[in-house]
Amino acid sequence: MTKLSELLGTFENLWPAAGAESWDAPGLVAGSESADIARVLLTIDVTAEVISEAAGNYDLVLAHHPFLLRGITSVSESTAKGAVLAQAIKSRLAIFAAHTNADIVGDGVSATFAAALGIKNAVPLVASASPGIGHGRIGQLVEPMLLGDFARTIAAVLPATATGVRVAGDYTQLVQNIAVCGGAGDSFIAEAAAAGAQVYVTSDLRHHIVQEAREAALVTADRLALIDVSHWASEWLWLDVAAKRLTQLHPEVVFDVCDLRTDPFDFVLTQ
């Protein structure tokens, strides 16, 4: 077994907390640093179902999304957050989150997403002062392909979700310069266009933002296409990368990826 404090040191080396956005809340959510850790479950979200699966089977849940982030004023067990946290504490289950600080690193969420889509020579879309560190990634496909075919590639690579892959663009447009951002990345559309991307793949794209971006593309003739995918799916690929890296560093600890789909949408109806 390994003390949680030792794992926390490893997490800090891999995903320095200083790299997190000012609004973010990564770090230890529950648990004692002196606790012995033998089994870790990696997940994107901390949900009641995830905690139920982990309780009694694991000592630590390593999540991407912080469990306590926005406006939490009570952890009463009569609340959803309180009930989940209480179950974790009663089960002696620690919870840790690595969020935007894990998005930006060289083998982080966006880099993993880009590599899975076959994007080569990927560099940060929004770079920091440190080489290879920054939000999103931009690079090139080995060969140009139809936008529609590229969208099908994305659908094949990502785990299945109800909402699938949504595309704003011409199916027959040839694309090669690709920008991606795992998770919600609509704030980087302008950067993707300025960097010469022909496609920007991200999550949580909203009607007006997509419409305005497509209208702007008509004026500038840059033809930037937008592809919207599940937030959970775009980040889930990173869990396996993180688990393998942690196993190399701590072979005495078992690191498993949670196979529960925590995407919140269950089905879609079309006319």
The stretches in the chain having pLDDT less than 50 are none
Query: Domain 2-99 adopts which CATH fold?
Result: 3.40.1390
- The C-alpha atoms of residue 156 and residue 163 are separated, in whole angstroms, by 14
SS (H, E, C) the chain: CEEHHHHHHHHHHHCCHHHCCCCCCCEEEECCCCCEECEEEEECCCCHHHHHHHCCCCCEEEECCCCCCCCCCCCCCCCHHHHHHHHHHHCCCEEEECCHHHHCCCCCHHHHHHHHCCCEEEECCEECCCCCCEECEEEEEEEEEEHHHHHHHHHHHCCCCCCCEEEECCCCCEEEEEEEEEEECHHHHHHHHHCCCCEEEEECCCHHHHHHHHHHHHHHCCCCEEEEECHHHHHHHHHHHHHHHHHHHCCCCEEEECCCCCCCCCCCCCC
Question: Considering the entire predicted model, what is its pTM?
Answer: 0.95
Q: How many CB atoms lie within 10 A of CB 9?
A: 12
CATH 3.40.1390.30 location in the chain: 2-99, 104-231
pLDDT score for 7: 98
pLDDT score for 70: 77
pLDDT digits (tens, 9 = 90+) for 185-203: 999 999 999 999 999 999 9
pLDDT score for 223: 83
Q: Does domain 104-231 have CATH number 3.40.1390.30?
A: yes
The token pair that represents 246 in the structure block: 């942690």
